[in-house]
Amino acid sequence: MQIMQADRSFQKYPVLYGLFILVVVMLAVTWTVYEEREQMAHIDMRLKTAALSVKHMLASDFHDRATGPETISYEEEMKNRLRVNDLVRYSGLTYAYTVVSNHGEYFFAAPTVSPDEAASRKRWYYYPYQDVPASFVSALRTGRAVFTTYTDQWGTFRSVVIPETTRAGRAYLACADIDISRITDLRIKNFLIAAIISATLILASLPVQMLFRRSTRQHVQELKKMNAELTAAKEAAEAATQAKSLFLANMSHEFRTPLNGIAGVLQMLRLQITNPTQKELIGLASQSCERLSRLISDLLDLAKIEAGKIDIIARPFDLHELLHNMTEQFTKLLDNGAVTLRLDMDSAIPRFVEGDAERLHQVLANLMSNACKFTEAGSVTLSVRLMSIQDNTKARVTFAVEDTGCGIAPEELPLLLEPFTQADLKFTRRHQGAGLGLAICKSLVSEMGGSFAIESKPGLGTTASFTILLTLSDREEHPTRETPAPLSGTGMRNVLIVEDDPVTQHVIQTFLMEQRWLAHTAANGKDALQALLAKPFDLVLLDIQLPVMNGLEMLEKLRNDNKYQSVARTPVVVVTAYAMKGDRERFLKAGADDYLSKPFSHNDLREVLARWTGGTHKPVRS
């Protein structure tokens, strides 16, 4: 009886053992799948963080310009490649890249490039993505991020695809990949180990499983640490960019405010003094002040370009007028008679176009100034050629400044396109300057979506040229602006000057009094509001950086506080040294009616004031 019971019990052992083995195998499989999913979740987190970081390493308008194989320069491609390669190396991924679409085809815009790939071809920008996965196409169409595993000509990858949109509205994909062939091999190995060990010796599998679990946990911790470091690096980069922007804004204010005071005082002295010798000295001081102002503007522009804060604003303007004024301006400067200056413009060049006239003038002025400075005898020619008309809406125009000056050695040409570099660095050099002009010209042309080139031969001269697209415009829609109306008018006008800098305050007040306006001053926003309640003013000239209450706080109260309802619509012109990208729009949005940046001339101030005296100028705020 006991034998039979033992036999029955023995017969149960295989079944129980089999069930036990089955349970262990199922648990092992379940555990393996769980660990793989957890690992995948951390990988997906790394991929997403890296993909979101790519756009911060590229120019803000990069994908707006990435429309063809030649729209992005090789220099910009290499800078982008180094940044993206560093991101991949530090984050432990395989690839990070962006993809753009053009007429149903897909192209790499800013891809990771390995040494072998770099050796196989020079340029990978705009390289066709021929076997693009369907999930990529779906992500771009739906605008939803996708995590996917796919195989293409480069291997098997776990990827994240994040649709992004530029400020101009162009959609593109930010992607990051990691090679998961190692993970696939590891999964198969785990399944085999679990099955074999579970079927033969369950107890022997426990130490192995514990060891593997410990190893996996350590790997997960490492992944979490890497993700934390990557996130911290991203936040630090964003904080550094914000700090740099704030520093530039403050430096712009600190430089421009005293310069504005110096320039204003010199202008007043020039009008009041009649002694020829003193007048000549004031003229020399004014020239030095203008030179310092240009140098500071160049430095700030260069810093703004590097920080991605440069403004390119397209507005209608008269291209012919700009070119003729430019030629006349430099003709007056060439008073020695040894150098002739001429304008050679195609008859087909459109007169009325849309573009950034201020930046175009800045580039041409820098090139013309260099040409005149380095040409002691001979000629300087500004030539303008119409290269093509695109879609009957845009003109592709090439501007070139050619001189017969001393020329530049071939090996020195690339150096001149770098900031703070000059061909002649000796103490005995004849021409002064900080070496910023060509670097800024190249950067501004690039910001305008154009291309820049320079050619030179020692002893024969130099030709600097650039090509940009300008939108065609109709003359009837944008008539030529008339001369500002005189500031005199019917009756005396009251102006409130809100300015804490005593020199600037005095310059503006003196100018207005000479125009027979009644000028009153306030050193901060709080005093200005009290003055407005005490008596009506026709116009307020408002600085932004003020003690006690700044200009933006004053605008907020003036426009929205019921206490100031009776004077809430008093015209306000912001007169400030804040001239960074977006400042003008920010002040107008806050409630200002017009904007004037420091340093400014009497003519600049007259032109702005004329818009509010019933003259021919119209307010800029709708």
CATH at 14: 3.30.450.20
Q: Taking Cα atoms as reference points, which of 499, 502, 579 lies closest to residue 542?
A: 499
Provide DSSP, 452-468.
EEEEEETTTEEEEEEEE
Q: Do 513 and 451 sit in the same domain of this protein?
A: no
Spatial contact of 395 and 472, defined as CB atoms under 8 Å apart: yes
For residue 528, give the CATH number of its domain. Answer: 3.40.50.2300
The helix/strand/coil state of 209 is helix
Which domain-ending residue is among 139, 161, 184? 184
Give the total number of structural domains in the chain.
Answer: 3
User: Does residue 304 fall inside a structural domain?
Assistant: no
Spatial contact of 609 and 576, defined as CB atoms under 8 Å apart: no
User: Does residue 219 fall inside a structural domain?
Assistant: no
User: In this model, does residue 11 exceed pLDDT 60?
Assistant: no
Name the least confident of 7-16, 282-291, 369-378, 467-476: 7-16
Q: Do 436 and 497 sit in the same domain of this protein?
A: no
- What does DSSP assign to residue 274? -
User: In this model, does residue 529 exceed pLDDT 90?
Assistant: yes
The helix/strand/coil state of 93 is coil
User: In this model, does residue 206 exceed pLDDT 60?
Assistant: no
Give the confidence band of 555 by pLDDT, cuts at 50, 70, 90.
very high
Spatial contact of 25 and 194, defined as CB atoms under 8 Å apart: yes
The arithmetic mean of pLDDT across residues 157-178, rounded, is 92
Q: State the pLDDT at residue 5.
A: 44
User: In this model, does residue 140 exceed pLDDT 70?
Assistant: yes
pLDDT tens across 583-593, in order? 788 898 999 99
Give the confidence band of 180 by pLDDT, cuts at 50, 70, 90.
confident
User: Does residue 463 fall inside a structural domain?
Assistant: yes
User: Does residue 211 fall inside a structural domain?
Assistant: no
pLDDT tens across 24-66, in order? 667 767 777 777 778 888 888 989 999 999 989 999 999 999 9
Q: State the pLDDT at residue 173.
A: 95
Which domain-ending residue is among 142, 163, 184? 184
Q: State the pLDDT at residue 510.
A: 86
User: In this model, does residue 13 exceed pLDDT 80?
Assistant: no
For residue 431, give the CATH number of its domain. Answer: 3.30.565.10
pLDDT tens across 115-131, in order? 998 999 999 999 999 88
Higher pLDDT, 218 or 565: 565
User: In this model, does residue 525 exceed pLDDT 60?
Assistant: yes
Q: State the pLDDT at residue 422.
A: 45
Q: State the pLDDT at residue 249.
A: 55
Spatial contact of 400 and 371, defined as CB atoms under 8 Å apart: no
| Six-digit token string for 543 | 């600085």
User: In this model, does residue 296 exceed pLDDT 80?
Assistant: no
Q: Do 28 and 177 sit in the same domain of this protein?
A: yes
* The 3-state secondary structure of 309-329, one letter per residue: CCCCCCEEEEHHHHHHHHHHH
The arithmetic mean of pLDDT across residues 568-585, rounded, is 82
Provide DSSP, 496-515.
EEE-S-HHHHHHHHHHHHHT
Q: Taking Cα atoms as reference points, which of 409, 406, 408, 384 lies closest to residue 397?
A: 384
Give the confidence band of 428 by pLDDT, cuts at 50, 70, 90.
very low
- The two beta strands, 572-576 and 539-542, are parallel
Distance CA(618)–CA(479), nearest Å, equals: 13
Q: Do 581 and 446 sit in the same domain of this protein?
A: no
Q: Do 441 and 526 sit in the same domain of this protein?
A: no
Q: State the pLDDT at residue 369.
A: 85
User: Does residue 234 fall inside a structural domain?
Assistant: no
Q: Do 499 and 444 sit in the same domain of this protein?
A: no
By residue range, what is the domain housing residue 548?
493-612
Average pLDDT, the chain: 79
Q: State the pLDDT at residue 614.
A: 54
Rg, Å, the chain Cα set: 34
Q: Do 454 and 498 sit in the same domain of this protein?
A: no
Q: State the pLDDT at residue 269.
A: 78
Give the confidence band of 1 by pLDDT, cuts at 50, 70, 90.
very low
Q: State the pLDDT at residue 184.
A: 65
User: Does residue 352 fall inside a structural domain?
Assistant: yes
Name the least confident of 77-86, 248-257, 571-580: 248-257
What percentage of the chain's residues is helix, strand, coil (to nearest 5)? 50, 20, 30
User: Does residue 120 fall inside a structural domain?
Assistant: yes
Q: State the pLDDT at residue 332.
A: 78
Q: Do 356 and 440 sit in the same domain of this protein?
A: yes
Q: Do 604 and 565 sit in the same domain of this protein?
A: yes
Which domain-ending residue is among 166, 184, 202? 184
Q: Do 415 and 498 sit in the same domain of this protein?
A: no
User: Does residue 527 fall inside a structural domain?
Assistant: yes
Give the confidence band of 397 by pLDDT, cuts at 50, 70, 90.
very high
Q: State the pLDDT at residue 246.
A: 59
The arithmetic mean of pLDDT across residues 557-571, rounded, is 91
Spatial contact of 622 and 583, defined as CB atoms under 8 Å apart: no
541: exposed, middle or buried (C-beta count within 10 Å: 0-12, 13-18, 19+)?
A: buried
Provide DSSP, 347-405.
TTS-SEEEE-HHHHHHHHHHHHHHHHHT-SSEEEEEEEEEEEEETTTEEEEEEEEEE-S
Spatial contact of 277 and 597, defined as CB atoms under 8 Å apart: no
Spatial contact of 511 and 268, defined as CB atoms under 8 Å apart: yes
User: In this model, does residue 402 exceed pLDDT 90?
Assistant: yes
Sign of the CA dihedral running 155, 156, 158, 164: positive
- How big is the chain, counted in residues? 622
Give the confidence band of 436 by pLDDT, cuts at 50, 70, 90.
low
Q: Do 437 and 533 sit in the same domain of this protein?
A: no
Higher pLDDT, 613 or 107: 107
Spatial contact of 546 and 569, defined as CB atoms under 8 Å apart: no
Q: State the pLDDT at residue 7.
A: 44
The helix/strand/coil state of 417 is coil
Q: Do 429 and 514 sit in the same domain of this protein?
A: no
Which are the contacts of 251, defined by CB distance < 8 A and separation ≥ 6? 300
User: In this model, does residue 168 exceed pLDDT 50?
Assistant: yes
Distance CA(454)–CA(466), nearest Å, equals: 9
Q: State the pLDDT at residue 98.
A: 96
